[in-house]
Structure 1
Amino acid sequence: MEEGIDEAYRPSEDEPFMNERQQEYFRKKLLDWRSEILREAKFTLEQLAERERNHPDLTDRATSEADHAIELRARDRQRKLIAKIDSALARLDEGTYGYCEETGEPIGLRRLDARPIATLSIEAQERHERRERVHRDD
Structure 2
Amino acid sequence: MEHNFISERRIYQGDLILMIHKEHPTKSGWWRKIRDRELKDIYYILEKPIHKEYDLASEDLKETHQENNCFVVKANTISYEQKYGDIEKYDILLSIRGTDAVNLVIKNYDFNCVDINSNNVDCTKGFIEFLEYYNKRYNKNNILKQVANNCI
Q: TM-score, normalised by structure 2?
A: 0.25
Structure number with the higher strand fraction is 2
Structure scoring higher RCO (CA < 8 A, sep ≥ 6) equals 2
Structure number with the higher helix fraction is 1
Which has more radius of gyration?
1
